[in-house]
């Protein structure tokens, strides 16, 4: 990676660490107990409980509204597989990069890598699992997949606002660097898009096969009519 680009990336981390983290004297949120309480609540939306609760609620809707059960099943499938792939991806990346959290060091350049973590017995230490953000990728994976299904701009806006606040909370509470959060949003988008495309790809194949069967049946019927065959 070019040196200038690397410096610019780490500048972003240092800038937001200085102006957003709760213990920085230059932070816009410095020494605000109410803001801290707010973000400690908001950050819980990325812990997975919200997403699993959403799946359970959608399961309930299947039985309450059977006419729209196919829609709820689609949501459940999308959320489940997006969560599945995001969790595998984020944990692999955390092990591979071994980045130190801002609570450990004020230097965002501290990437130790998996070999160094193994050598120093830090492989499963949470302090060296900053990149990318697990909370952010969890909430944003759910947001992205739902945004592909849902048409309501109002609901989409609320979801994106929630995701934005969760991302800010991870920086504010000094759990992650800004680039951890940004990377998680980007990665989760591609995973959700992959899941969405696969779901629609399968539907397309089924429709195509069904369409071919209909055409074939139609041709057989026309031939039988020409030959004067009566069922």
What residue has token string 């809707």?
61
Q: Would you list the domain boundaries of the chain?
A: 3-226
93-120 residue pLDDT tens: 999 999 999 999 999 999 999 998 898 8
Length of the chain: 231
Cα 47 from Cα 103, distance rounded (Å): 19
Answer whether the bond into residue 132 is a cis peptide, omega within 30°: yes
Q: Which of 17-26, 67-76, 143-152 comes out lowest in average pLDDT?
A: 17-26
The more confident residue out of 140 and 9 is 140
Q: pLDDT band for position 7 (50/70/90)?
A: confident
Answer whether the bond into residue 165 is a cis peptide, omega within 30°: no
141-163 residue pLDDT tens: 999 999 999 999 999 999 999 99
Return the SS3 of 201.
Answer: helix
Rounded to 5 degrees, φ, ψ at 51 are: -65, -45
The model's pTM: 0.83
Over range 197-225, report the average pLDDT. Answer: 56
Cα 131–Cα 111–Cα 115 angle in degrees, nearest 5: 105
30-47 residue pLDDT tens: 878 999 999 999 999 999
Q: Are the beta carbons of 95 and 78 closer than 8 angstroms?
A: no
């Amino acid at each position: 990676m070019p040196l200038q680009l690397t410096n610019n990336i780490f500048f972003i981390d240092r800038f937001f660490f200085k102006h957003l983290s709760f213990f920085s004297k230059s932070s816009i949120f410095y020494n605000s107990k109410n803001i801290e309480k707010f973000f400690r609540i908001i950050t819980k939306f990325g812990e997975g409980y919200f997403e699993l609760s959403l799946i359970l609620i959608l399961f309930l809707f299947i039985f309450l509204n059977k006419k729209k059960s196919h829609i709820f099943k689609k949501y459940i499938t999308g959320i489940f597989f997006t969560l599945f792939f995001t969790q595998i991806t984020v944990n692999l990346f955390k092990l591979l990069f071994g980045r130190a959290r801002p609570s450990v060091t004020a230097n965002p350049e501290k990437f130790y890598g998996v070999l160094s973590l193994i050598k120093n017995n830090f492989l499963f230490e949470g302090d060296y699992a900053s990149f990318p953000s697990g909370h952010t990728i969890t909430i944003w994976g759910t947001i992205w997949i739902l945004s592909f299904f849902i048409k309501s701009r109002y609901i989409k806006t609320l979801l994106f606002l929630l995701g934005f606040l969760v991302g800010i909370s991870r920086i504010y509470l000094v759990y992650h660097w800004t680039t951890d959060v940004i990377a998680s949003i980007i990665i989760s988008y591609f995973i959700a898009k992959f899941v969405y495309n696969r779901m629609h790809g399968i539907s397309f194949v089924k429709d195509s096969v069904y369409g071919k069967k209909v055409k074939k049946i139609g041709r057989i019927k026309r031939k039988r009519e020409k030959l004067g065959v009566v069922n």
